[in-house]
Amino acid sequence: MSVTRPAGFVASGGAGGIKPEGKLDLALVATADGAAVPAAGVFTTNKAAAAPVQVSRRHLAASGQRAAAVLLTSGNANAATGPAGVAACEALCGEVARLLRPDEGIAAEAVLICQTGLIGFPFPLEVVRPRLPALVAGRGPGREQAELAARAIMTTDTVPKEVAVEGEGWTVGGMAKGAAMLSPRMATMLAVLTTDAVVEPAVLQAALRQAIEPTFNRLSVDGATSTNDTVLVLASGASGRRPSADALAAALTDACGRLARQMAQDAEGGTKVAVVRVEGALDDEEAHRAARKVAESQLVQCSLNGADPYWGRVVSELGAAQVAFELDRVRVAYGGVEVCRAGVAVPHDTEAVAAHLAGREVEITCDLGLGTGRAAVLTTDLSEGYLAENRRTS
Amino acid sequence: MSVTRPAGFVASGGAGGIKPEGKLDLALVATADGAAVPAAGVFTTNKAAAAPVQVSRRHLAASGQRAAAVLLTSGNANAATGPAGVAACEALCGEVARLLRPDEGIAAEAVLICQTGLIGFPFPLEVVRPRLPALVAGRGPGREQAELAARAIMTTDTVPKEVAVEGEGWTVGGMAKGAAMLSPRMATMLAVLTTDAVVEPAVLQAALRQAIEPTFNRLSVDGATSTNDTVLVLASGASGRRPSADALAAALTDACGRLARQMAQDAEGGTKVAVVRVEGALDDEEAHRAARKVAESQLVQCSLNGADPYWGRVVSELGAAQVAFELDRVRVAYGGVEVCRAGVAVPHDTEAVAAHLAGREVEITCDLGLGTGRAAVLTTDLSEGYLAENRRTS
């Protein structure tokens, strides 16, 4: 259940001196033989994209969508750090490339980089660089090394997030941290996926994009799109099996979905995981917009925290979502129990609703009654823990 | 400093039985002689508009933009209440019209209605109706009656909000409650303005729309557009003075701006009032979008609560605001002290920034360095008090 589960990959984790007191903050995922293999990536849409996002994008393009390794660091986002931040990323990638194949070497463009942490602080390149040899030397295919890597990318996460999905003779593995900018001190969601399937870069890129849409792109804790969000996948081909594009996309979607759920469950301060489903919208895109509006509402998130069945806030957010909407067609249900029909309150089993809302997993379903569009967005409650975590960075 | 400050208006406040324990929940603002005068209104853009919004819109149109009175109730939003909710509004308006001129009567369309409170609960018409005669009988031009009215529309507000602006021989008065849906149990921002200026309905409507844009429409506590937001203005003409359209718009803008600031200062649980200014955007509209994105950010609001000078979150929100943006041109300042230039940290007086952030009023200025567009949005911090207030409605 990790990035080394598929054949042909190694991982490593270590302390790079970015975080205080020798905490884990460096991770490596690489091909076992240091060869560049088909790779794909999806990056944040934030226009203040961090240096590692700029560099990884460039490397993927320059290498014809192939990569031999991903270096990940936590504790400093290397965002809003100007040209010096970009130069630090290039130096780190070059150093890892040299260390991976000391004899012949590989191109720096074959190394991708993900970083997460505080925005706006210079990256301590000279502190980190001397720790890279130990990181690279420590790589291996074992479960332990993979878990060390998954731990090294944690910031305010309380548990590492790993996944494995079995295909027919091939496998997808993965690890991730955080969700949106719900991780205040350290920002960012990062995920690295691996597979031993045989696949061309273009097919891999399409499958990754397809996998992200219903998973990571349907998760919102606080509506903040970070400067560093990155999802990468490397395909070693070591299984010798070539799945259909659909089978590969399905496995990646499964893996991303399970990582997204782990992120929601470990959201900062969160006490609930909620799925907001919107049905009956004009189209899927409008359903998504409406579901996101409800999911990101501070007031709805407050109600979730208090287990309060106040559906009026849900209806109000739907009305403000800038989608086709007719109040007298709206239905709302908590955990399958209808509380609003035709836009007004209906008698219902209040104890069943209270019991549902008291649980850790909550489902809010909204039927707009207008079309066949549907979407679901995963979110959490707004808690005192979130506030306490995010008041101060130091 | 109230709705009765301009000549020709009376007000009243009372207990209608909507809130428990005889609390104030009914208010009336009317012309002194019960005559319909030029009136204008701006209403929520929420498609789940409450019954009073639907009815006031219809009455204004039916009466050729004239009104004799505004009835306001608090404690129940009469939103998501279906046809029964609309019928209740019509009944209340008809009853007030009858009571205002028992002899000849006036048209129900000359009475407008504003309501605020919980969404989705049937409005208790039969409880309220018998209380209307006392409310109407109690009306008068005094300071006390006006303040009673301003108190009767309070929900989670802690202080009444009133304003008066002097023109040359004419006056604008006003009262308001709440801000956006920051008022959880009771929702909604409502404002009623009065003036004794002589003005035609069309000029009044244009002036009101102009006044709202840089004031109420630049205030956001939690990004929630309520189902009941309403701003109304009535012009008695009693001063006999006819100001220019510009002078009238300026006075209304001044009045709305001061009410908006009072709302921000009394925002639920809020410990800070913050102005987010964006300059150097491509145009004013993009500046507004960017300022709103920063102002409504949960993470930025958390930083405000903790007096944390973490400008990285500000830059990240600007980058995600879907406006033209180039990180290496961005400057950010707290209270005039520049902390970020060309998209990276700059040395600055950290004690001055800490002192500014420790205060009750905070100013964040962001220069995008791209054009001449500018806008300012007023907001508050996200506090434990907000959370505590909004976890449960009962």
The mean pLDDT of A365-377, rounded to a whole number, is 96
Percent of chain B residues past pLDDT 70, beyond the cut:
97
Task: For residue A314, give Cα distances in angstroms to A356, B221, B226.
Answer: 17, 18, 11
A358 vs B: CB within 8 A: no
Which of A164-168, B141-145, B266-270 has the weakest average pLDDT? B266-270
CA angle in degrees (0–180, nearest 5) for B363-B365-B370: 165
Sign of CA dihedral A316, A320, A321, A323: positive
A104: annotated binding-site residue?
A: no
Residue A236 above 90 pLDDT? yes
Distance, in Å, from the CA atom of B120 to the CA atom of B227, rounded to the nearest integer, reads 11
The mean pLDDT of B51-60, rounded to a whole number, is 96
| Chain B contact probe: residue of A286, A301, A313 with most B CBs at under 10 A | A313
Q: Tell me what pLDDT residue B206 has.
A: 96
Give the residue extent of every domain in chain A: 9-265, 273-391
CA angle in degrees (0–180, nearest 5) for B290-B295-B299: 110
**Measured between CB atoms, which of B119, B316, B383 is closest to A316?**
B119
Residue A179 banded pLDDT, cuts 50, 70, 90: low
Q: Tell me what pLDDT residue A366 has.
A: 98
Q: Tell me what pLDDT residue A217 has.
A: 87
Q: Tell me what pLDDT residue B220 has.
A: 83
Q: Where are the beta strands (DSSP E) in B156-300?
A: 161-166, 171-177, 190-195, 230-235, 273-281
ipTM: 0.87
- Which residues in chain B are contacts of A382 at CB distance < 8 A? 298, 387
Residues 232-291, chain B, touching A (beta carbon < 8 A): none
Task: For residue B109, give Cα distances in angstroms to A35, A348, B70, B92, B163.
Answer: 79, 37, 11, 11, 27
| pLDDT (tens digit per residue) in A128-155 | 999 999 999 999 999 999 999 999 999 8
Q: Tell me what pLDDT residue A305 has.
A: 96
B336 vs A: CB within 8 A: no
The mean pLDDT of B60-82, rounded to a whole number, is 95
- Which residues in chain B are contacts of A386 at CB distance < 8 A? 298, 302
| pLDDT (tens digit per residue) in A300-314 | 999 999 999 999 999
Q: Tell me what pLDDT residue B377 has.
A: 92
Q: Which residue has the higher pLDDT, A37 or A216?
A: A37
Residue A373 above 90 pLDDT? yes
Taking CB atoms within 8 Å and a gap of at least 24, the contacts of A100-105 are: A100/A30, A100/A34, A100/A68, A100/A69, A100/A136, A101/A34
- Which residues in chain A are contacts of B342 at CB distance < 8 A? 82
Q: How many CB pairs under 8 A join A and B?
A: 209
| pLDDT (tens digit per residue) in A51-75 | 999 999 999 999 999 999 999 999 9
- Contact criterion met (CB < 8 Å) for A118 and B312: yes
List B116, B156, B188, B195, catalytic entry = B188
For B273-390, give the CATH class.
alpha beta
Which of A67-71, A158-162, B235-239, B338-342 has the weakest average pLDDT? A158-162
In a 13 Å sphere around the CA of B236, the CA atoms on its Cβ side amount to 25
In degrees rounded to 5, what are phi and psi of residue B384?
-60, -30
Whether A194 is a known active-site residue: answer: no
Q: Identify the H or E element spanning B256.
A: helix B245-265
- Which residues in chain B are contacts of A227 at CB distance < 8 A? 315-316, 319
Residue B184 above 70 pLDDT? no
In degrees rounded to 5, what are phi and psi of residue A363?
-125, 125
DSSP string, A180-218: TT-STTT---EEEEEE-S---HHHHHHHHHHHHTTTGGG
**Measured between CB atoms, which of B122, B310, B386 is closest to A393?**
B310
Residue B43 above 60 pLDDT? yes
Nearest of B108, B124, B17 to residue B58 by alpha carbon: B108
Q: Is A117 helix (H, G, I), strand (E, B) or coil?
A: strand
Distance, in Å, from the CA atom of B286 to the CA atom of B152, rounded to the nearest integer, reads 38
B155: annotated binding-site residue?
A: yes
A223 vs B: CB within 8 A: yes
For A9-265, give the CATH class.
alpha beta
- Topology given in CATH for the domain delimited by A273-391: Ubiquitin-like (UB roll) (3.10.20)
Residue B330 above 60 pLDDT? yes
A380: annotated binding-site residue?
A: no
Distance, in Å, from the CA atom of A348 to the CA atom of A49, rounded to the nearest integer, reads 48
